[in-house]
């Protein structure tokens, strides 16, 4: 029955809520944590606001003709109960929660939270699938080693993943990278691992459809994880984020990237770094809700109308 | 198990969600409608934001020693599915939804929505309980006859209730009334019905505890409904509302009013007119969440620790 | 005499106010209604805020060399006195108000208001001019049949216009269409009518000057109406709107579309769906004011400097 | 005919606009200037936003039973055309504009603008009426001598008035004074002139009705001017102002002060220092609109219903 | 030389900056940490915004005639370099930083930061002065034992202080306490320690001058620390905070409390929990700046003009 | 030592503060003035907020491989002490302050402030270097003659510079020009002087790298000044400005312009017209901080890593 947009308890897209991933093809799940952020906090409220704005998103993808709910069982399974006062303990809690999810075969679609959370998520994902390919959209490489003496915060998740062998490094691409840096070659580490780096400058003024054709080749048919930091997109589209960098991707390019992942063997996705209080209109969370829906639409086995 | 405040699907106070009022002593329910408002809209998002901010409200009332959840089954039963495009049809939908609720004996605690909604709610309530006493906190009497040619909008609900005999007029009190008016005696109608009117001016600078002793006498032991328009409170405390009037009640006085209703035979309550977009901090919705919790705490049979 | 920008009563562009369209070549008019909106309200304050921000717009169009005030009598004729509490009655009021305006031969330039209003406006316009061509910029086709059981709201105006034969369907173009949908082919209806649909995806990264050449051919020299929903533009440019969709048109493309209408037989224009409270800076209203000025500049008989 | 609140060109209270004060008993007039402010600017948009929010104010004063429009001709006469780039020249423009107004016998009710403007207004007022009594509500005495080398800015208007003999110093009262200062006795000057000073501290927690009885005696029946700096009120009620000071008056007290002026020979009034951009909800401008209406209601010869 | 308010590098009150407390009678110091907060983050930017708004605060205290800068050397000594990613390590860093400060005999005036920081500050303070008396203004007792499994966060600092013997428990007062709670007697712990608790309810509508006379007796002449959580004040005055509770103290009462501490042997002060992003106007930070100045004005040996 | 982003006194990029330019290769300096603005004020707080957000900018330029701090001594030298109440006197103060700076050979990088300030800055710069080339990014030509009777405000600085021979007119380029105008050929003056004008329309949808190659030829090796009005950029990227115009440059283009100036003989730079209160997220100030860093990176003699 048709429901007015302002109406109803806010689960993601007002899907049914269930406590576990049991029986689901894909699950939306929140990780309301922001104590890994280096600048503006607020991403702890990302899941709440993404769910709120997701009432604008309808069930059928007009542009790609994907009808995810006709082929997959999908629910909102709530939030990981993070420990706001201990970032490392939160990482443990996240890892354990995701271990349970991935064991069921369900594909998790995560509403972040700051980018720190991708590290324990990938611990769980790689435990099941082995080292994964990674499509990483971000202004930052997030491959720092330490900050303020700490190895775990939102600038280091992919360094930690490399340390632990969670990534299939030849199948990693980072798109939208830009901004100033602390060292004269911040990208050395990434290049040494064999990551493909696509700088934001190389994306300006043009379609990324050709890029995505190359990336599909790079990824092949082995497991792939999509990690989308909303700051990969330009802050004009997504002002509500903690460490914005000027001159990023457009939302059109964001859609091209995600839609370009269709056909890949996607085993998990996240959308992180939405800090709603910095976005009076709510449109950053709305953008995030749309991007998560688009990710759902490119999961394996989603029905596509011809 | 203890859960971080930013975590979890936002029901009211993160209570369990259930679809009907069956088996409940009290139920929180939203009415996300604002098309009866004469000035700033936005109260359609009142329920969503009150639920969001309600994660700050804990289970025990420190000041009154009430422990509502130890004595009453309480849940969030979601929102009435209003018709945003036809106010009169929405009234019908609301009335029918509340008829089902009150039939079960459950006390509804409503998250508005503009004040229009109290009219169909009282139709349902009076159908079960007969004409009710009313504790009405508001800057406005809401007893207009028509506006822009219409008999139903947020300025007329209590006139319509009088028309239909839903109120026990000698047991009506209106507190916080103020502001300019269209006619030289806007209060004639109320006085003719025998309502007690307590102007905001008569509340300035002082405790309302003595007033409430008188009102408890006025109400006696017959059924009483509490209708709390957030604009009864001064806009400094509650900026997020549609038709604010200067020089209103304090939140301390609001607590005194609600706590002063303890012992009354309360059969329903609402908190209306929260328009969150006019309140950047979220504190209007937070205030509303607290006031709804206080209403719950004065319902009949709630356990009070000595 | 030169006046400081913050100074003066806010009519559109601080033009003279007059009560009727009598004697005018073109008139700005507001329709402060938003009760047809399906999500965020607030467009009722569109006219007020567009007028406020229009003090930035000067009289001569630098880019196109149009000098509209040298060739046309233009005034602000105030707002239609809508019925906020009954959407269908508002439609009647709007239709009657526009019948009076178009009878004088004046071209109305409307400050909305939600998109529902275009339906009664086109009733009046088509009554005078017969079925019109339509240049419709929007994220949405607005050709739904019903919602929440209603035939009239901001998602259906052009369906209703087709029902009543108000459009010359071969001369309809919709530009900027995007977003998710309820059904697997939401565009069937439009295509069946013969509308030309230009998806947002087909506009990304490029100039729309070539498109507009085609559209001028499509429109020919018969009467044309321009209906501009601000959500056709990307929400980064126009955050203050009720049903934003990601990845829309740029403001540069918006200017290309309007400027590309020069030479057409334009008989009316509107700019709808500005919801100012969602736009802290005021720039959405400012954009709207500029677009309305650009529409004025392409009206027939406007003087162009060589 | 009844008009919806969001509708219509925004004059003050949607009164008729006329270009001069000719024939009026009282006139609302804006002075959109803020280049005399020492901290946050924005009061240049005070008149625009006060007019916008004034659509909430109805014609009859419920609390005092005043019906100003039944006894006085009142209109909005627009704004003084200030020179934003030269404060001293703006003072000249203001003085000349007010000379024309007061010559007609009309009482000006001014929408500021920063407090600098009261100096040239009083030049014009005193030219007609001789030195006037002053009821000055403010956090600041505004009797500084110079700042940054300048004699004219919003911290000095009443010093300049004393210099020029525009005030009847025994009939001056300043209410709400508070805050830190540059010198160890900032009030010496005021006391030396014989001003009565009522510190904010002396107003906390209590009604100002008794104070106003004394002030009516102080003022007698000679001409009185009311100058109300919105920062006299506490910033919780009026956040949108340029130089807020903590712990000010309540809006209830503000109403008591203005209502307590009934019976005085009031020859002019202003409400200054509303800086709307610092007030997301619009409630500061709404408060200002109400206070201006209350000032109108206490003008000589306003009809009071018994 | 006189400087315009918007001008200059923002130290507290634009005092000189120096790196250490050497040679100072009192020092302003920031602790930009908010990872101990249980709800809305943002207090990490408290020091930056308090410094920004402090340009409104002048050097002489008009109300109390205190001239702190004539008797004490005061500077801004910058911020503690906290570890945003490990709360416990931040506590260590804070403690060590304050050990250095208090060793010099300088009185630290802290710009928080969430309330967690008072625990390591008091470790340093008590190390020098022995167990201290405490004047604690707050909505919350902050004497919880654990949350989410952790002993250190902003709800437990004073429990930890009691655990370590840092407080002279008979000389502790908590003012402004209110709000719901998790347990049926949350105040047991405080009462068992002998703390005096002054509930917000007991402060409504009245002056706290008499209370402060009693508290001065309670404190005697031994060392006292003032810890001021901005949420002790009502959220109408201070919306920009993380865990607001309705119906708190007024800013007038806040001034009475601080001014009532004159004559006590104050050895340190803090103002915590300002989360600027939740306060569009900046007035919460402005209030904090004023309260910190008032604390400075009641330090021992500050010159008071008669 | 590594410092958390929220920590520390906010100088530009948290550089050392020193009082004069003595010994510096380049200096950041603020001019907190906005009384030359014709519409929305607030740029007086530009320097404060740009400094605040500059904590996001790191020391090495990743994209261009510039390492400015390895080759130049750079500091923040605070703000010019402007006279807020007299624009002409402020111009004198600015000119004198910059005369001192440029005499030392230091290159000033200015944080504005409205665009008026570039006039007195160029008086000082040209006094030392003779008439300079100008790379001027702006929506407006700023070559008006007078407004409201005044020759000095933010619409005239470059007209005044031409009047006084401060510009080498064949080496002037203006990029991003757009918007409506008062006269039918507002660009006549610029063209008569020989300025190159690059309209925003000519920049849409494409890279400006080719343009910059031409501009480097135009500028040659003689002294060049870069004046960057943030409103040259589209308001979607930079909403916090006083006179926004739709359809401007992207931030990517802004970076291309500045980076395209590498190799020129740059003797000074400014970034003006950031009005932070119109930008809730702070991203306009963040963009400004990045652009100023990019200007620093193209100064002569800055080390570039290969
Ligand atoms: Mn990231
Ligand atoms: Mn990132
Ligand atoms: Mn009401
Ligand atoms: Mn009301
Ligand atoms: Mn539409
Ligand atoms: Mn649309
Ligand atoms: Mn003043
Ligand atoms: Mn003042
Ligand atoms: Mn606390
Ligand atoms: Mn607290
Ligand atoms: Mn400029
Ligand atoms: Mn400009």
The pLDDT value recorded for residue E56 is: 97
Of D8, D44, D78, the CB nearest to C6: D44
Which residues of B fall within a CB distance of 8 Å from E180? 57-62, 290, 293
Which B residues in the span 187-246 are in contact with D, Cβ-Cβ below 8 Å?
Answer: 187, 199-201, 204-205, 234-236, 239-240, 243-246
**H/E element holding B297?**
helix B283-297
Torsion over CA of B131, B132, B138 and B141, rounded to 10 degrees?
20
E80 touches F: beta carbon within 8 Å: yes
- What are the residues facing D79 on neighbouring strands? D30
Looking at the predicted structure, is the pLDDT value of residue C41 above 70?
yes
Question: Rounded distance, CA B11 to CA E54, Å?
Answer: 40
Nearest residue of chain B to residue A45 (CA atoms): B6
Looking at the predicted structure, is the pLDDT value of residue C264 above 80?
yes
CB neighbourhood size of D165 (10 A): 11
Arithmetic mean of pLDDT, C90-99 = 98
Nearest Cα to Cα of residue E111 among E171, E23, E172, E52 = E52
Question: Rounded distance, CA C240 to CA C220, Å?
Answer: 34
Inter-axis angle of helices F46-53 and E46-53, nearest 10: 170
Q: With an 8 Å Cβ cutoff, are A9 and B79 in contact?
A: yes
* Cα atoms in the Cβ-side hemisphere of radius 13 Å centred on D16: 12
DSSP-derived secondary structure for F50-81? HHHHGGG--SBBTTTTB-GGGTS-EEEEEE--
To the nearest whole Å, the CA of F145 is away from the closest chain C CA by: 13
What is the three-class DSSP state of D185? coil
Q: In terms of DSSP H, where are the helices of B38-153? A: 46-53, 68-71, 87-103, 118-129
Question: Rounded distance, CA B201 to CA B199, Å?
Answer: 5
Which residues of C fall within a CB distance of 8 Å from B278? 277
* Structural domain includes residue B54: yes
Torsion over CA of F263, F267, F272 and F276, rounded to 10 degrees?
80
pLDDT in tens, C281-295: 999 999 999 999 999
ipTM of the complex model: 0.98
To the nearest whole Å, the CA of D129 is away from the closest chain C CA by: 28
Computed on alpha carbons and rounded to an integer, the radius of gyration of chain D in Å comes to 18
* Structural domain includes residue F32: yes
Question: Rounded distance, CA D237 to CA C84, Å?
Answer: 29
- What are the residues facing D254 on neighbouring strands? none
**H/E element holding F135?**
strand F132-137
In the E/F pair of chains, how many CB contacts fall below 8 A?
69
* Structural domain includes residue C271: yes
E279 touches B: beta carbon within 8 Å: yes
The pLDDT value recorded for residue A151 is: 97
Q: With an 8 Å Cβ cutoff, are D287 and B246 in contact?
A: yes
In which residue ranges of chain E is pLDDT below 50?
A: none
The pLDDT value recorded for residue E186 is: 79
* Cα atoms in the Cβ-side hemisphere of radius 13 Å centred on A235: 30
Which residues of A fall within a CB distance of 8 Å from B32? 4, 6-7
**H/E element holding A266?**
strand A265-272
pLDDT in tens, A281-304: 999 999 999 999 999 999 999 999
Nearest residue of chain E to residue A93 (CA atoms): E148
Arithmetic mean of pLDDT, A188-217 = 97
D84 touches E: beta carbon within 8 Å: no
Strands (E), B167-262: 167-177, 196-199, 223-229
To the nearest whole Å, the CA of B172 is away from the closest chain A CA by: 31
* Cβ(C34)–Cβ(C242) below 8 Å: yes
Nearest residue of chain C to residue D31 (CA atoms): C7
Residue F102 Cα to ligand 1 middle (Å): 42
Look up tokens 């999509």; give the residue.
A226
In the D/F pair of chains, how many CB contacts fall below 8 A?
60
* Cβ(D141)–Cβ(D174) below 8 Å: yes
Of E17, E48, E81, the CB nearest to F3: E81
Q: With an 8 Å Cβ cutoff, are D239 and E281 in contact?
A: yes
Of D40, D44, D87, the CB nearest to F85: D87
Q: In terms of DSSP H, where are the helices of chain A? A: 46-53, 68-71, 87-103, 118-129, 157-163, 188-193, 209-219, 251-259, 283-297
* Structural domain includes residue B3: no
Of F38, F84, F85, the CB nearest to D84: F38
Look up tokens 């997220």; give the residue.
F281
Q: Strand E223-229 relative to strand E265-272: parallel, antiparallel, unpaired?
A: parallel
In the complex, which subunits touch C with 3 or more CB pairs below 8 angstroms?
A, B, D, F
A90 touches B: beta carbon within 8 Å: no
Give the domain extent around A173: 12-83+104-297
Q: With an 8 Å Cβ cutoff, are E244 and B283 in contact?
A: yes
Average pLDDT by stretches of 10, chain D with 306 residues = 93 97 98 98 98 97 95 97 98 98 98 98 98 98 96 98 98 97 87 97 98 98 98 98 98 98 98 98 98 98 92
- What are the residues facing E224 on neighbouring strands? E133, E266
| Token pair belonging to B75 | 């849940």
* Cβ(C117)–Cβ(C31) below 8 Å: yes
Which residues of C fall within a CB distance of 8 Å from B243? none
CB neighbourhood size of B260 (10 A): 20
Residue F280 Cα to ligand 4 middle (Å): 30
Q: With an 8 Å Cβ cutoff, are B179 and D286 in contact?
A: no
Q: What is the per-residue burial (b if ≥16 Cβ within 10 Å, else e) of A71-107?
A: ebebbbbbbbbbbbbbbeebbebbbebbeebbeeebb
DSSP-derived secondary structure for chain E? ----TT-S---GGGPPB-SS-TT-SEEEEEE---TT-SS---GGGHHHHHHHHGGG--SBBTTTTB-HHHHS-EEEEEE----TT-HHHHHHHHHHHHHHHHHTTPEEEEEES-GGGHHHHHHHHHHHH-SEEEEEE-SS------BTTBS-STT-HHHHHHHTT-EEEEEEEEEEE-S-BSSS-TTHHHHHHT-EEEEGGGTTTS--HHHHHHHHHHHTTSEEEEEEEGGGB-TTT----SS--SS-B-HHHHHHHHHTTTTSEEEEEEEE---GGG-TTSHHHHHHHHHHHHHHHTSTT--B--
To the nearest whole Å, the CA of F79 is away from the closest chain E CA by: 5
| Alpha carbon separation from C82 to B40, C269, D123, F127, F254 (Å, rounded) | 15, 19, 45, 63, 45
Inter-axis angle of helices D46-53 and D283-297, nearest 10: 80
Question: Rounded distance, CA A279 to CA A298, Å?
Answer: 28
CB neighbourhood size of B259 (10 A): 20
**What is the domain-level CATH number for residue D167?**
3.40.800.10
Question: Rounded distance, CA A57 to CA A63, Å?
Answer: 13
To the nearest whole Å, the CA of C89 is away from the closest chain D CA by: 14
* Cβ(C116)–Cβ(C36) below 8 Å: yes
Question: Rounded distance, CA F46 to CA C76, Å?
Answer: 36
Q: Across chain E, what does the average pLDDT equal?
A: 97
A44 touches E: beta carbon within 8 Å: yes
Query: What ligand is nearest to the CA atom of residue B176?
Result: 4
Nearest Cα to Cα of residue A167 among A197, A183, A190 = A190
* Cβ(F161)–Cβ(F227) below 8 Å: no
D34 touches F: beta carbon within 8 Å: yes
Q: Strand C265-272 relative to strand B74-79: parallel, antiparallel, unpaired?
A: unpaired
* Structural domain includes residue F304: no
Of B86, B88, B278, the CB nearest to C277: B278
Of C187, C205, C235, the CB nearest to A283: C235
The pLDDT value recorded for residue A39 is: 98
Residues with C-beta atoms within 5 A of ion ligand 3 = B 115, 138, 142, 229
| Alpha carbon separation from C109 to B221, C128, C293, D127 (Å, rounded) | 61, 16, 9, 47
Residue D147 Cα to ligand 8 middle (Å): 15
| Alpha carbon separation from C162 to A252, B123, C254 (Å, rounded) | 32, 40, 25
F51 touches E: beta carbon within 8 Å: yes
In the complex, which subunits touch D with 3 or more CB pairs below 8 angstroms?
B, C, E, F
Computed on alpha carbons and rounded to an integer, the radius of gyration of chain B in Å comes to 18
- What are the residues facing E199 on neighbouring strands? E177
- Higher model confidence: residue A184 or residue C304? C304
Residue C20 Cα to ligand 5 middle (Å): 27
Residues with C-beta atoms within 5 A of ion ligand 8 = D 138-140, 229, 231
Query: What ligand is nearest to the CA atom of residue C119?
Result: 5
* Structural domain includes residue B2: no
Question: CB-based burial of residue E16 (10 Å sphere; 0-12 exposed, 13-18 middle, 19+ buried)?
Answer: exposed
Q: What are the φ and ψ backbone dihedral angles of F118, each rounded to 5 degrees?
A: -70, -25
| Token pair belonging to B207 | 């405790």
In which residue ranges of chain B is pLDDT below 70?
A: 1
Q: With an 8 Å Cβ cutoff, are C63 and F244 in contact?
A: no
Q: With an 8 Å Cβ cutoff, are C32 and D4 in contact?
A: yes
Which residues 6+ apart lie within 8 Å of D89 measured at CB?
A: D83, F149
Mutate to test the interface with E, among B206, B251, B294 (most CBs of E within 10 A): B251
Q: What is the per-residue burial (b if ≥16 Cβ within 10 Å, else e) of E175-186?
A: bbbbbbbeebeb
Question: Longest C-alpha distance within chain E, in Å?
Answer: 58
* Cα atoms in the Cβ-side hemisphere of radius 13 Å centred on F47: 29
The pLDDT value recorded for residue A1 is: 67
The pLDDT value recorded for residue D306 is: 80
Looking at the predicted structure, is the pLDDT value of residue F183 above 90?
no
pLDDT in tens, D233-246: 999 999 999 999 99
Arithmetic mean of pLDDT, F253-272 = 98
The pLDDT value recorded for residue F300 is: 97
Residue F301: pLDDT band by 50, 70, 90 thresholds?
very high
Which residues of A fall within a CB distance of 8 Å from C38? 4-5
Q: With an 8 Å Cβ cutoff, are E81 and F1 in contact?
A: yes
Question: Rounded distance, CA B46 to CA B33, Å?
Answer: 9
* Structural domain includes residue E303: no
Computed on alpha carbons and rounded to an integer, the radius of gyration of chain E in Å comes to 17
Which residues of E fall within a CB distance of 8 Å from D182? 58-60
Instruction: Give how far the C-alpha of residue B64 lies from the chain's centroid of Cα atoms, to the nearest Å.
Output: 20
Q: With an 8 Å Cβ cutoff, are C206 and F201 in contact?
A: no
Considering its fold, how many domains does chain A have in total? 1
| Alpha carbon separation from C17 to C82, C272, D9, E253, F147 (Å, rounded) | 19, 21, 9, 51, 25
pLDDT in tens, E76-111: 999 999 999 999 999 999 999 999 999 999 999 999
Arithmetic mean of pLDDT, C161-186 = 94
Query: What ligand is nearest to the CA atom of residue D227?
Result: 7
* Cβ(C42)–Cβ(C34) below 8 Å: yes
- What are the residues facing B172 on neighbouring strands? B134
In the B/D pair of chains, how many CB contacts fall below 8 A?
92
Arithmetic mean of pLDDT, F122-148 = 97
* Structural domain includes residue B304: no
């Amino acid at each position: 029955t048709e429901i007015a947009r302002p109406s109803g308890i806010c689960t993601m897209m007002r899907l049914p809520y269930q406590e576990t991933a049991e029986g689901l093809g894909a699950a939306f799940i929140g990780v309301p944590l922001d104590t890994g952020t280096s600048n503006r906090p607020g991403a702890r409220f990302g899941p709440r606001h993404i769910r709120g704005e997701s009432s604008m998103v309808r069930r059928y993808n007009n542009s790609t003709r994907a009808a995810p709910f006709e082929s997959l069982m999908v629910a909102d399974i709530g939030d990981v109960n993070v420990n706001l006062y201990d970032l490392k303990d939160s990482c443990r809690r996240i890892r354990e929660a995701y271990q349970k999810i991935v064991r069921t075969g369900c594909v998790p679609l995560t509403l972040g939270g700051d980018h720190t959370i991708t590290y324990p998520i990938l611990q769980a994902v790689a435990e099941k699938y082995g080292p994964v390919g990674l499509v990483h959209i971000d202004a930052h490489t997030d491959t720092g080693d330490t900050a303020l003496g700490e190895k775990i915060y939102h600038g280091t998740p992919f360094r930690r993943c490399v340390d632990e062998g969670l990534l299939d490094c030849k199948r990693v691409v980072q798109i939208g990278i830009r901004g100033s840096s602390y060292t004269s070659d911040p990208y050395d580490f990434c290049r040494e691992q064999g990551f493909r780096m696509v700088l934001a400058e190389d994306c300006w003024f043009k379609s990324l459809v050709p890029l995505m054709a190359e990336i599909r080749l790079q990824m092949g048919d082995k497991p792939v994880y999509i990690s989308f930091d909303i700051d990969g997109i330009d802050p004009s589209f997504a002002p509500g984020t903690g460490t914005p960098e000027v001159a990023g991707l457009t939302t059109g390019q964001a859609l091209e990237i995600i839609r370009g992942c269709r056909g890949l063997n996607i085993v998990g996705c996240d959308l992180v770094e939405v800090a709603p209080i910095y976005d009076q209109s709510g449109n950053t969370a709305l953008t995030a809700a749309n991007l998560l829906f688009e990710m759902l639409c490119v999961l394996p086995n989603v029905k596509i109308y011809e």
